[in-house]
């Protein structure tokens, strides 16, 4: 066979194989795209429905925020603070003596937080920590208008305060049911922070639980971030109803500032404007927040509006919040001239039961004392070393 003719035959076979491969690839692509096309046709309604559902949820959240945010106000408490500066005078002559001179400076501190309108009479709810010791309280609305507010009353154990403004420019928020809040419920947090626009967070409520160091009430635990100025802000359910007020944040100190790689969590008040992160306050924004449920807030607010204060019992002892023992609480300190001292309680005494009921921990003991009226007598079962005895104490009244 002629060589060039043999080469031509082989070349034709190669080209034919290449064409067949291209045709097979085209068929495979056609099958793939056809399958994708069929799937797209089949599931297009579902995709459109999902997109439409998300868009509808977004519109609902936007409407909820637009309706609620005019009732959330900025609360600014102006407080006078004093600082002393010492100077040292160096004598110029031997006969002169050294002397120290103290100069006291007075300056204004501004604490910014959030609050929300409670009723048509101008009552606004905020936290006691914001208005504590304030000489002047200013309430600012979303549109920038500001009003002077007066303190109606506060309850430090629950961190609730009621202030009042003289205006009819009010937008109320419907009250929801916090007592039956379910784990996994969607929530929206609205507070005031830097600037004119409110601070908004969207998250999920984990449920209601008690927090060490805040013994009086269970709290709504949620994962929406909390920013400076959000203390006193509101937590809404998916129906746009208020179910709680932001009180505290779960703070985890940084390993750098604490000097420890193994970190213990602690509870602190939500950070305020001007408050810097520290080993005590943790880093903000916080990712886990706690809100006081509205069904706890309402009776306290009504009492504050009516009487201006909450009357609570006082024993005059300090106890740890958490102890390794399974029950009971150990007294770490007894205040001078307190009901506890008059009843002969001593540091180191372990309270096992009150009026015959076993005490589980320090939070339960604090809760029992604070919720009792002044003058009530409590019979304490005490373990003092190897001795067990019963002491009777008459509660005093907790001062502001």
Answer yes or no: is pLDDT of 15 > 50.
Answer: no
Higher pLDDT, 349 or 54: 349
pLDDT of residue 36: 55
Distance CA 262, CA 248 (A): 23
Dihedral through CA 267, CA 269, CA 273, CA 274, nearest 10? Answer: -60
Higher pLDDT, 237 or 194: 237
Considering the domain 186-296 in this protein, what is its CATH number?
2.40.10.10
| Structure-block tokens of residue 396 | 């005093």
Where in the chain are the domains? Answer: 17-69, 186-296, 313-397
Distance CA 349, CA 337 (A): 18
Distance CA 74, CA 348 (A): 45
Mean pLDDT for 194-198 is 71
- In eight-state DSSP terms, residue 224 is S
pLDDT of residue 197: 75
Per-residue pLDDT reduced to its tens digit, 283-293: 444 568 899 99
User: What rounded mean pLDDT belongs to the chain?
Assistant: 77
How many Cβ atoms sit within 10 Å of the Cβ of residue 373? 10
Higher pLDDT, 151 or 213: 151
CA dist 159 → 83, 263, 371 (Å): 27, 27, 15
- In eight-state DSSP terms, residue 132 is T
Higher pLDDT, 271 or 155: 155
Distance CA 302, CA 308 (A): 9
Distance CA 346, CA 316 (A): 11
Mean pLDDT for 109-131 is 91
pLDDT of residue 192: 85
Considering the domain 313-397 in this protein, what is its CATH number?
2.30.42.10
Answer yes or no: is pLDDT of 90 > 80.
Answer: no
Give the range among 11-15, 33-37, 72-76, 125-129 with minimum mean pLDDT: 11-15
Residue closest to 304 by CA, chosen among 150, 190, 167 = 150
Give the range among 72-86, 144-158, 173-187, 278-292 with minimum mean pLDDT: 278-292
């Amino acid at each position: 066979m002629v060589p060039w003719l043999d080469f031509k035959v082989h070349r034709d076979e190669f080209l034919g194989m290449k064409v067949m491969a291209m045709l097979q690839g085209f068929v495979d692509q056609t099958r793939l795209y056809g399958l994708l096309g069929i799937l797209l046709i089949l599931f297009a309604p579902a995709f459109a429905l999902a997109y439409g559902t998300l868009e509808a949820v977004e519109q609902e959240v936007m409407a909820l925020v637009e309706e609620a945010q005019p009732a959330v106000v900025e609360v600014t408490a102006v407080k006078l603070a004093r600082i002393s500066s010492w100077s040292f005078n160096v004598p110029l002559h031997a006969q002169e003596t050294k002397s120290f001179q103290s100069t006291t400076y007075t300056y204004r501190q501004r604490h910014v937080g959030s609050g929300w309108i409670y009723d048509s009479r101008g009552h606004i709810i905020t936290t006691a920590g914001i208005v504590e010791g304030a000489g002047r309280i200013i309430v600012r609305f979303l549109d920038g208008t500001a009003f002077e507010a007066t303190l109606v009353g506060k309850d430090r154990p629950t961190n609730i305060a009621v202030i009042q403004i003289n205006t009819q420019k009010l937008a109320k928020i419907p009250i929801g049911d916090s007592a039956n809040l379910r784990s996994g419920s969607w929530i929206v947090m609205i507070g005031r922070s830097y600037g004119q626009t409110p601070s908004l967070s969207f998250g999920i409520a984990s449920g209601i639980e008690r927090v060490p160091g805040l013994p009086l009430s269970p709290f709504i635990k949620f994962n929406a971030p909390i920013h400076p100025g959000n203390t006193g802000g509101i937590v809404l359910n998916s129906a746009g109803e208020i179910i709680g007020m932001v009180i505290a944040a779960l703070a985890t100190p940084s390993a750098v500032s604490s000097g420890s790689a193994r970190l213990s969590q602690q509870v602190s008040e939500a950070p305020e404007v001007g408050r810097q992160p520290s080993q005590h306050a943790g880093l903000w924004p916080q990712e886990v927040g706690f809100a006081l449920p509205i069904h706890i807030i309402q009776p306290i607010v009504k009492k504050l509006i009516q009487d201006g204060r909450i009357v609570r019992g006082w024993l005059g002892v300090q106890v740890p919040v958490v102890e390794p023992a399974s029950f009971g609480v150990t007294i770490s300190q007894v205040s001078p001239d307190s009901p506890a001292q008059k009843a002969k309680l001593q540091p180191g005494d372990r309270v096992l039961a009150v009026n015959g009921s076993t005490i589980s921990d320090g939070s339960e003991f604090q809760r029992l004392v604070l919720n009792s009226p002044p003058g009530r007598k409590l019979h304490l079962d005490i373990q003092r070393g190897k001795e067990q005895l019963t002491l009777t104490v008459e509660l005093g009244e907790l001062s502001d």
